Chain A
Amino acid sequence: MRRITYRKALNEALAEEIERDENVVIIGEEVAQYNGAYKVTEGLWARFGDKRVVDTPISEAAFVGLGVGASMLGLRPVVELMFWSFAYVAYDQIVNNAGCIRYMSGGSIHVPLVIRGPANAGTNVGATHSHTPENSLANVPGVKVVCPATAYDAKGLLKTAIRDNDPVFVMENTLLYGESWEVPEEEYLIPLGVAEVKREGADVSLIAHGRAVITSLKAAELLAANHGIHAEVLDLRSIRPLDEEAILRTLAKTHRAVLVDENKPFCGVSAQIASIIQEKAFDELDAPVGRVCSLDAPAIYSPPLERIQLPTPERVVEKVLQIT
């Protein structure tokens, strides 16, 4: 099977959905003539023109809110945030409007909106550009949050997100944009709320999302090679909706879990997963649930240090050894 980059997979998803549905419009900073700050939208403006791919000024509150309002009246805007860290200047639009309007209107208004962009630390851009808001946004009932870890997942999840009738926030990762995976030529969709076992194992479950899945896969290699421990890696893919059954399934198999999460630990996604595990799989647990998150400080700039602020395979291995 052909291998394409995560970036290219997203680009294909956007192009296919623009072609498929006339109401799909790409809106964001530098998405058109500049070809995308991270080249995710490369070539789309040239191919589809001004109407379908729209450059905005640096004005997140306005263009995110515009996306919400336009979706209320039938469009399917795909709003790009150059970084999800910039969501904070549009937070009212994202949380109060995208998140709450359907509910407050008694279900009479729908918001089929996608907001996408990278949400990761690890590129030495300082704390303001390194946020991972999947936990805080998944905390808002009414929105959906997905975090693809591979090119295959990125394409399938984004296409599904665009067709979904609720607001879906797709959180990508600049460190993965250039990585390649196998992606089929033919069209496919990945449902939201379905996790995937990326590696089978019987001794411990590593549960992760986004790039932490890649970290977990590396840790699983180390555990097998150096410690004879066979880790199963479960990629959540979607944070909300959440594939709770997959989590309980892997727990029933391994009876141990280490949650790997690039969120900061306090109230991170893994905290929610841990809560679910203790509540619904208590009798399956043969060890406390371990968590490996980003170290609990704003993202540090210094490159060697930021590398270890994020979850590393070594930290995952260490945590696994602590509980086995």
Chain B
Amino acid sequence: MGRNQKTSRLNRFVTTTNNTLVGPATPARSADAEINQQLTAADKLEMLGDMFRIRRFEQTALQYYQAGQMGGFLHLYIGQESVAVGTLSVRGDDDHVIGGYRTHGQALLMGLSMKECMAELFGKSTGCSKGKGGSMHFFAPDKNYWGGHGIVAGQAPLGLGLAYALKYRGLKGCCLCYLGDGAVNQGAYHESLNLASLWDLPVIYIIENNRYSMGTSQERSSAYRTSLAARAEGYNIEWDMINGEDVYEVRAGTWKAIERARRESRPSVLEISTYRYYGHSVADANAKKYRTPEEIEKYRQLHDPLRLWQRTLLEEGVATEAQAAELDAAARKEVAEAVKFAQESPLPAEADILADVYYEVDRQTVAGRTGRHFFN
């Protein structure tokens, strides 16, 4: 792509000053993209419903976390729903997904049930990881969902490996590897970009740029301030910057990257702007210190992806207020059932502590029965 095109893209992120709900900078153009033209009303409503599902799930998780019914960390996705919904709405069945520690949204969209996700947060045996992973470690490899990884950028080489295996085995599909703006400063990410490009691997690195890597703003952590994705230039990788508030734009940008992966077996880096309403985690005591309450409030009021998408659907005449309320109610009902399921589910048994460590031991193969594996 040409230099001018890139420069224009760098200028795409605009700052709003008025107090009205703002929309995408170029709504018409994104909506016109072929991938978006294919959307039916039902598709669009489903996407709205998915956003409600994620938001209600996360809000409820917060409630029970604060009630002391969950342990560990809880990194909420609230405010970023359009990224997961937009990117995954164009995913094909053969495509694989892997992410970091703020990926409840992706997990719910990859077919993990709200029940098994909530049960995981409650540490129950019915959780998607049998209560062994927790908030950061949801997995469902049978649904092409490979986690859920707690170490910043630790998933970048794994996503690379998934793409490598797809290509090696001649399988269709690509790997969507989600990471945050903090991960782009890790060596593993850069090493992965180099190999992805060097070996023509079908992997898409999706940077969900919520502007803060834990408590440190992008301005204070990235030497190249205007773009994170642009670093991909150094690895000869196609990159794009996408306004995460605009579901159409997210879809269009992601689709291009997926097409590139499928057709050319080439990697991409997408930087999608977004914002999280809560702290880095629920335990983030300074969530309102490294950024102003006014800033948070502005995003909540003016840039909320759920409200924006709902408004879009109302304006398009695809949905009514009542339909939106119905979707919300359905999401709340699903969450309530998930909580009930999680609460009523049994804890893992004590013996489960030692299960799922070794394949060979679990299967009681000859190898699993040879030698001492555990030293309790």
The reply to whether B168 and A75 form a contact with Cβ atoms under 8 Å apart is: yes
Q: Which of A69, A107, A164, A165 contacts B162 (CB 8 A)?
A: A69
Residue-wise, chain A 143-180 has the 8 Å CB interface mask toward B (1 for contact) of 01000000000000000100011100000000000000
Contact between A66 and B157 (Cβ–Cβ < 8 Å)?
Answer: yes
- CB of B352, distance to nearest CB on chain A (Å): 9
On whether the beta carbons of B362 and A107 are closer than 8 Å, the reply is yes
A96 to B157, CA, bound (A): 12
Most A CB contacts (10 A, CB to CB) among B160, B161, B373 go to B161
Number of A-B contacts (CB under 8 A): 191
List residues of chain A with CB within 8 A of the CB of B366: 191
Per the bound structure, the CA–CA distance linking A101 and B149 in Å amounts to 9
In the bound complex, do residue B161 and residue A105 qualify as a contact, i.e. CB atoms below 8 Å apart?
Answer: no
Are B195 and A59 in contact (CB-based, < 8 A)?
yes
Q: Which residue of B lies closest to A64 (CB)?
A: B157
Q: Is the C-beta of B165 less than 8 angstroms from some C-beta in chain A?
A: yes
Asked whether, in the complex, the Cβ of A244 is within 8 Å of the Cβ of B356, the reply is no
| CB interface residues, B 109-144, toward A, < 8 Å | 127-133, 137, 139-142
Can you list 28 pairs linking A and B with CB atoms under 8 Å apart?
Answer: A23-B169, A61-B187, A61-B191, A62-B192, A65-B156, A66-B158, A66-B192, A68-B157, A69-B157, A69-B164, A73-B166, A73-B169, A96-B149, A97-B157, A102-B357, A104-B137, A105-B132, A106-B128, A109-B139, A142-B357, A142-B358, A165-B365, A165-B367, A166-B360, A193-B367, A241-B371, A242-B371, A243-B371
Contact across chains for A238 and B194 when beta carbons are under 8 A apart = no
Q: Is there a chain B Cβ closer than 8 Å to A93's Cβ?
A: yes
State whether the Cβ of A51 lies closer than 8 Å to any Cβ in chain B: yes
Q: B371 contacts which chain A residues (CB < 8 A)?
A: 191-194, 238, 240-244
B129, A105: Cβ atoms closer than 8 Å: yes
B329 / chain A contacts, CB cutoff of 8 Å = none
A253 to B9, CA, bound (A): 76
Interface centre among A57, A104, A160, A243 (most CB of B within 10 A): A104
| B355 part of interface (Cβ distance < 8 Å) | yes
Q: How far is the CA of A96 from the CA of B370 in the complex (A)?
A: 25
A binding-site residues for B, Cβ under 8 Å: 23, 25, 51, 56-57, 59, 61-75, 92-93, 96-97, 101-110, 112, 141-142, 144, 160, 164-166, 191-194, 238, 240-244, 272, 276
Measured between C-beta atoms, what is the minimum distance from B131 to chain A in Å?
A: 8
Not counting A57-B195, A62-B191, A75-B168, a sample of 12 additional A-B residue pairs whose C-beta atoms are within 8 angstroms of each other reads A65-B157, A66-B161, A66-B164, A96-B151, A102-B358, A103-B357, A106-B133, A110-B359, A164-B360, A165-B367, A191-B367, A242-B372
Query: When chains A and B are docked, how far (Å) is the Cα of A191 from the Cα of B360?
Result: 12
What chain A residues lie within 8 Å of B163 (beta carbons)? 69
Cβ of B90 to closest chain A Cβ, rounded Å: 21
CB–CB A192/B367 < 8 A: yes
- Most chain B CB within 10 A, of A92, A96, A272, is at A92
Tell me which residues across on chain A come within 8 A of B198, comparing CB atoms.
57
User: Does B159 lie at the interface of the complex (its beta carbon under 8 Å from any beta carbon of A)?
Assistant: yes
Please pick, from A71, A101, A166, A191, the residue contacting B147 in the complex, using a CB distance under 8 A. A101
- Cβ-neighbour of A65 out of B140, B141, B160, B165 (below 8 A): B160
Q: Are B188 and A65 in contact (CB under 8 A)?
A: yes
Q: Which residue of B lies closest to A276 (CB)?
A: B375
A108 CB contact (under 8 Å) in B131, B141, B365, B374 = B141
Contacts of A192 in B (CB 8 A): 367, 370-371
A102 / chain B contacts, CB cutoff of 8 Å: 356-359
- CB of B133 within 8 A of CB of A61, answer no
> Across the two chains, which residue of chain A brings its CB closest to B359?
A165
Cβ < 8 Å to A, chain B residues 293-307: none
Complex contact A69–B370 (CB within 8 A): no
Complex Cα–Cα for A109 and B98 (A): 13
The CA-CA distance from A290 to B372 in the complex, in Å, is: 22
Which residues on the A side are within 8 Å of B98 (C-beta)?
69
For the complex, give the distance between the alpha carbons of A56 and B194 in Å.
Answer: 11
Given contacts A106-B127, A106-B139, A165-B359, contact A72 B375 (CB under 8 A): no
B162 proximity list for chain A (CB < 8 A): 69-70, 72-73
Min C-beta distance of B54 to chain A, whole Å: 22
